[in-house]
């Protein structure tokens, strides 16, 4: 905790200003592990929606960052929150193999026990506002267009977050399972690959 030098109130380590009197706070130095995590996140060159999606993947609330335009400031606050929860090492490992939904191969079905991959599956298979409208109706939202976000994947993220808070994820899973998933690209078998490879023409001898 950080004590405000003006009013004496206790504030969280990640707070940039006092919650009670808005005085700027001197924050403790980040650990070497937290500094490494901060640099890793900054190196990803996150835009607003990418940052929000990563927060979603890490099970961290991103709505408190909505009014902040300073990317480095948002990242530092997020890192301090994660460090305070003792999750720095876990998150570092997760982010080193992290991919946004568009970079995943098509999933065969929405996994009921993985919120992030459920989101990936929804992004891969919900491509139109009409589909999104049907999805949000499963959790009692009347107008999908009113969800925050600039594109359908961002609105899906918000809808799944609402469904989780409302204990309505089973309804979302049930509806997602009615969709026809995209087929993953498959490498042909070795024998098939060989049969498709033209054999080089042999030069005639003694001609």
Local confidence pLDDT in tens for the 207 residues of the chain: 789 999 999 987 677 889 899 999 888 888 999 999 999 998 886 788 889 999 999 999 998 888 777 788 889 889 999 998 999 999 999 998 899 998 999 999 999 889 999 999 999 999 999 999 999 999 999 999 999 988 999 999 999 999 999 999 999 999 999 998 866 545 555 554 445 545 555 555 554
Question: Closest Cα to residue 83, out of 145, 28, 137?
Answer: 28
Flag whether 11 is in a domain. yes
Flag whether 153 is in a domain. yes
Distance CA(195)–CA(15), nearest Å, equals 64
Flag whether 64 is in a domain. yes
Flag whether 6 is in a domain. yes
**What's the confidence (pLDDT) of residue 89?**
93
* Contact indicator for 74, 38 with CB cutoff of 8 Å: no
User: Can you give 89-103 as a three-state secondary structure string?
Assistant: HHHHHHHHCCCCHHH
Q: End-to-end alpha-carbon separation of the chain, Å?
A: 89
Residue numbers of the domain that contains 63: 31-98
Are residues 112 and 170 both part of a single domain? yes
Flag whether 191 is in a domain. no
Domain count, the chain: 3
Are residues 141 and 164 both part of a single domain? yes
Q: To 5 degrees, how large is the angle CA 156–CA 161–CA 165?
A: 145
Phi, psi of 21 (to 5 degrees): -130, 5
Flag whether 189 is in a domain. no
Are residues 6 and 51 both part of a single domain? no
**What's the confidence (pLDDT) of residue 193?**
45
Are residues 71 and 60 both part of a single domain? yes
> What are the beta bridge partners of residue 17?
24
Say whether 4 sits in a helix, a strand or coil. Answer: coil
Distance CA(27)–CA(34), nearest Å, equals 14
Query: The whole model's pTM is what?
Result: 0.74
Enclosing H/E stretch for 120: helix 115-125
Are residues 80 and 129 both part of a single domain? no
Are residues 3 and 16 both part of a single domain? yes
- Which one of 49, 74, 98 terminates a domain? 98
**Cβ neighbour number for residue 176 with a 10 Å cutoff:** 20
Distance CA(185)–CA(103), nearest Å, equals 13
Flag whether 147 is in a domain. yes
């Amino acid at each position: 905790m950080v004590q405000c030098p003006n009013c004496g109130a206790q504030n969280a380590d990640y707070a940039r200003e006092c919650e009670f009197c808005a005085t700027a706070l001197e924050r403790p130095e980040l650990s070497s592990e937290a500094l490494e995590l901060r640099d890793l996140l900054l190196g990803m060159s996150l835009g607003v929606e990418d940052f929000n999606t990563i927060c979603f993947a890490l099970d961290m609330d991103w709505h408190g960052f909505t009014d902040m335009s300073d990317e480095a400031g948002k990242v530092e606050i997020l890192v301090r929150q994660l460090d305070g929860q003792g999750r720095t090492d876990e998150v570092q490992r997760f982010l080193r193999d992290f991919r946004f939904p568009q970079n995943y191969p098509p999933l065969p079905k929405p996994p009921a026990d993985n919120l992030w991959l459920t989101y990936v599956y929804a992004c891969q298979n919900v491509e139109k506002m009409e589909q999104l409208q049907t999805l949000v109706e499963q959790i009692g939202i009347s107008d999908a267009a009113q969800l925050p976000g600039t594109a359908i994947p961002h609105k899906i993220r918000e809808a799944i977050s609402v469904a989780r808070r409302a204990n309505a994820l089973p309804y979302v899973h049930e509806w997602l399972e009615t969709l026809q998933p995209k087929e993953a690209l498959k490498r042909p078998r070795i024998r098939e690959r060989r049969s498709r490879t033209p054999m080089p023409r042999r030069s005639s001898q003694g001609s």
